[in-house]
Structure 1
Amino acid sequence: MYQKVIMMGRLAADPELRQTPSGVSVATFTIAVDRQYADKDGKRQADFFDVIAWRELGEFVSKYFHKGKPCLVDGRIETRTYTDKNGIKRKLYEVIAQSVRFCGDGSKTDKGLPEAPPAPKQTEQADFTEMPPEGDLPF
């Protein structure tokens, strides 16, 4: 099975970076994603999603992103269950980030930030077969 989620929003708070007991970096943050429609007063509602970024990605997010910063998150959703302090079983949905990209609004605060790495270049030519002219088709 395949699962992918892509969302664009703004950080609701500064990311929190910590280390696991084995020394792996992990950043957690929440993004607010506006809904496509407005309520009767013309205000847009937002949904809030918890995001987890591991290793270098987590370090990158904690260094360059802050509250209110627009971003594009690409990842997958994981479900976690736990029992709260009252003994009630709870289910939590989190986005595990595979990439987090800048969605700058062109403000001065976006200057000097690193660009996303370029896509890898294709090293081999595609193996295409030249099609014969239409008059030479075998059917």
Structure 2
Amino acid sequence: MAGSVNKVILIGNVGADPEIRRTQDGRPIANLRIATSETWRDRNSGERREKTEWHTVVVFNEGLCKVVEQYVKKGAKLYIEGQLQTRKWQDQTGNDRYSTEVVLQGFNSTLTMLDGRGGEGGGAGRGGSDYGGGGYEEYDQSRPSSGGARSGGQSNQPNQGGNFSRDLDDDIPF
């Protein structure tokens, strides 16, 4: 197998309101922390156990930063697609430190709000370029969606797939 893949997919809850900073030329950078949890039953005691992991997410995509700034708040459930990056930095005492982060930039990044704004359904942002691509798409049940979040409600559109039981009335060909 030639090549490699660096892709991270997370579904989790935002732990605190996102922090929005700006570069010297005015481009936004969003920082947020997302918690993912797994639960299981302990084999010996039968008790339910839970383990929570915290992930640092950095958004460089300008369109996705606008979504984060306007709509993402503490407790929001998000679907994130990005890449792992480790950066080296020095603390106040001059020691080298390393931080591994999930980075959303360019075309390979996605941020989808799974619980929507005020319970109205979800919205999705897809990464474009580092300079203003991507953005926010409000979920609309009245039109077909090629991606983003989907609401669990029933559609008012008629069934366009035909009548399934009528298709089963055919004679067996042997």
Identity of aligned residues (%): 26
Match of residue 146, structure 2, among 119, 122, 125: 119
Q: What's the TM-score, normalizing by structure 2? A: 0.60
**Residue deviations 1:109-128, cap 9 Å, x none?**
222x66334439xxxxxxxx
1:19 partner letter: R
Alignment of 1:45 onto 2:51: yes
User: What is the root-mean-square deviation in Å for CA atoms of aligned residues?
Assistant: 2.3
- Closer/same/farther in 2, CA of residues 114 and 44 from structure 1, 3 Å limit: closer
1:16 to 2:19 alignment: yes
Unaligned runs of 5+ in 2: 125-136, 138-144, 148-174
Amino acid corresponding to residue 15 of structure 1 in structure 2: P
Task: Give 1:56 shift.
Answer: 1.2
2:119 alignment counterpart: 110
Looking at structure 2, the residues matched to 20 and 38 of structure 1 have their Cα atoms a distance apart, in angstroms, of 47
Contact residue 114 and residue 122 of structure 2 kept, 8 A: no
TM-score, normalised to structure 1's length? 0.74
Name the SS of the counterpart of 2:146 in structure 1.
coil
Report which of the two has the higher share of strand. 1
How far the C-alpha of 1:103 sits from its partner, in A, is: 1.6
Matched length: 117
Distance 1:110 1:4 in 2: 29
CA deviations on 1:73-116 (whole Å, 9 max, x unpaired) are: 10001110111112221110010121110122x8x8222x6633
Change (3 A) 1:38 1:93: farther
* Structure 1 unaligned blocks of 5 or more: 121-139
1:83 aligns with 2:83: no
Q: Cα distance, 1:23 vs. partner? A: 1.1
Counterpart code for 1:69: A
Q: CA deviation at 1:38?
A: 5.7
**In the alignment, residue 57 of structure 2 is paired with which amino acid?**
V
Cα distance change on mapping 1:51 and 1:89 into 2, 3 Å = same
